[in-house]
Amino acid sequence: MTVGCQPKGLWIAVLLVMMSLLTSGCSKPQPEFSETVFTFGTLVEITIVGVDEATADLAYTAALDDLNYMHNTWHAWQENALARINNLLRTGGSFSLAPSILPLISKAKVLSEQSNGLFNPAIGELVNLWGFHSDERDDSPEPLHEDIQVLLDAAPSMQDVVIEGLNMHGTNDRIRLDFGGFAKGVAVDAVIEHLREFGIQNAIVNAGGDLRAIGQKDGRPWRIGIRNPDAEGVIASLEISGDESVFTSGDYERYFEIDGKRYHHIIDPRTGYPAMGTRSVTVLHNSGAVADAAATAMFVAGPDHWKTIANNMGISNVMLIGSDGRVQITTDMAKRLQFENGYAPAVTVIDTSKHQ
């Protein structure tokens, strides 16, 4: 068995080099500062443009505090605020909630419902069974089908998490919240909001290739690359400006292999097994949290059903690469994406408005 976890740092380096190459040659370079921190299982790079160094330093300190706080509070399998909530939810009794974590749970409920339950942060036990709860998976084999079946029969969902004011209770003793499917998006959003409070108007927060950018760089859009799921390198690039997030869910992010078969970390809540049929889904949307949850949900929905989820979640920019290499993109995304030289996939452009 091989245990796979790709060196994301390398990819961030590739994307950043690409960004700086593509934005070089502008007439008025503004001061630019960059800091990288390892958190949420990946390297997070924060680039700030157009403010003085003292402001950038203050903003970095605040952003790093934010990231550490969020990572420690939400990590699904550590003794922290979320572990307490998980234990209490399983008892069925009512308990009070720290106001800081309430918006996260409310948002997860809404996004889960919009995704028809395919984005389901209540399936932490399934994620655990597959060994993807820790940053490094050990070499345990595929879980037993009967253990998966027990959890499928219990069918924990976000509907089992009932919020009443500042109190909450659970209605399913197999709920275990795991926000790994959108925590990075929520974190990137929070950091951007905090940077804005420091008067920063141009910045990019890049968490291992998943990112949100505001403003521009030296008067030009930020240009970012989308990784090729099959090989090293970038398959396409796109320009983003104003306030936009780009998130990708891929079967190459975290996986292990047994007898040549790949088991990755995005679980289909309907089968209890890693979702089949998709290599990667890239979503462009204003909110990082929505883009992140939607990428995970559409990965599960797969090549034939993602359009319904895109519609329900209000997403119009999507690229899905199927296991067969077939690329589907929405009409809006087709206008934005530029495939790299030498990469000319068979692309189907989809009008999602026809999939209500």
Closer of 286 and 353 to Mg ion (Cβ): 286
For ligand ADP, the binding residue among 200, 234, 266, 321 (CB under 6 A) is 266
Distance of alpha carbon 275 from alpha carbon 129, whole angstroms: 15
Closer of 219 and 277 to ligand ADP (Cβ): 277
Q: Is 249 in the site for ligand ADP (CB under 6 A)?
A: yes
What are the CA-CA distances from residue 243 to residues 216, 221, 249, 288, 295 (Å)? Answer: 9, 11, 20, 10, 18
Q: Is 296 in the site for Mg ion (CB under 5 A)?
A: yes
Stretch that binds ligand ADP, among 25-33, 146-154, 174-182, 339-347 (CB under 6 A): 174-182
Closer of 5 and 88 to Mg ion (Cβ): 5
Amino acid at 197: E
Stretch that binds ligand ADP, among 60-68, 193-201, 264-272, 319-327 (CB under 6 A): 264-272
Distance of alpha carbon 318 from alpha carbon 71, whole angstroms: 28
Distance of alpha carbon 237 from alpha carbon 221, whole angstroms: 12
Helix (H) or strand (E) holding 313: helix 306-313
Closer of 251 and 292 to Mg ion (Cβ): 292
The alpha carbon of residue 278 and the mean position of all alpha carbons in its chain are separated, in whole angstroms, by 16
For ligand ADP, the binding residue among 156, 181, 272, 303 (CB under 6 A) is 181
Q: State the number of binding residues for Mg ion (CB under 5 A).
A: 5
For ligand ADP, the binding residue among 15, 50, 56, 121 (CB under 6 A) is 121
Closer of 216 and 282 to Mg ion (Cβ): 282
What's the order of all strands across the beta sheet hosting 317-322?
32-39, 42-49, 202-207, 210-215, 242-250, 278-285, 317-322, 327-330, 347-350
Closer of 198 and 252 to ligand ADP (Cβ): 252
Give the closest residue to 38 by CA, choosing from 7, 80, 14, 82: 7
Nearest residue to ligand ADP on Cβ basis:
180
Stretch that binds ligand ADP, among 58-66, 114-122, 165-173, 213-221 (CB under 6 A): 114-122
Percent of residues in the chain assigned helix, strand, coil, to nearest 5: 35, 30, 35
- What x/- string results for residues 291 through 320 when contact with ligand ADP is judged by CB under 6 A? -x---x---x--------------------
Distance of alpha carbon 124 from alpha carbon 93, whole angstroms: 20
Q: Is 292 in the site for Mg ion (CB under 5 A)?
A: yes
- Cβ distance 294 to 246 under 8 Å? no
Distance of alpha carbon 280 from alpha carbon 299, whole angstroms: 7
What 8-state DSSP symbol labels residue 222?
E
In the complex, the smallest distance separating the C-beta of residue 185 from Mg ion, rounded to whole angstroms, is: 7
Q: State the number of binding residues for ligand ADP (CB under 6 A).
A: 22
Partners of 258 in beta bridges = 261
Q: Is 267 in the site for ligand ADP (CB under 6 A)?
A: yes
Tokens representing 70 are 């969020």
Q: Is 282 in the site for Mg ion (CB under 5 A)?
A: no
In the complex, the smallest distance separating the C-beta of residue 312 from ligand ADP, rounded to whole angstroms, is: 15
Stretch that binds ligand ADP, among 23-31, 141-149, 227-235, 261-269 (CB under 6 A): 261-269
User: Which region, left, alpha or beta, applies to residue 191 given φ > 0 means left and ψ of -120 to 50 means alpha?
Assistant: alpha
Closer of 181 and 322 to Mg ion (Cβ): 181
Distance of alpha carbon 187 from alpha carbon 66, whole angstroms: 8
Q: Is 105 in the site for ligand ADP (CB under 6 A)?
A: no
For ligand ADP, the binding residue among 119, 222, 255, 263 (CB under 6 A) is 119
In the complex, the smallest distance separating the C-beta of residue 306 from ligand ADP, rounded to whole angstroms, is: 13
Binding site for ligand ADP (CB under 6 A): 118-121, 123, 127, 132, 178, 180-181, 184, 210, 249, 253-254, 265-267, 269, 292, 296, 300
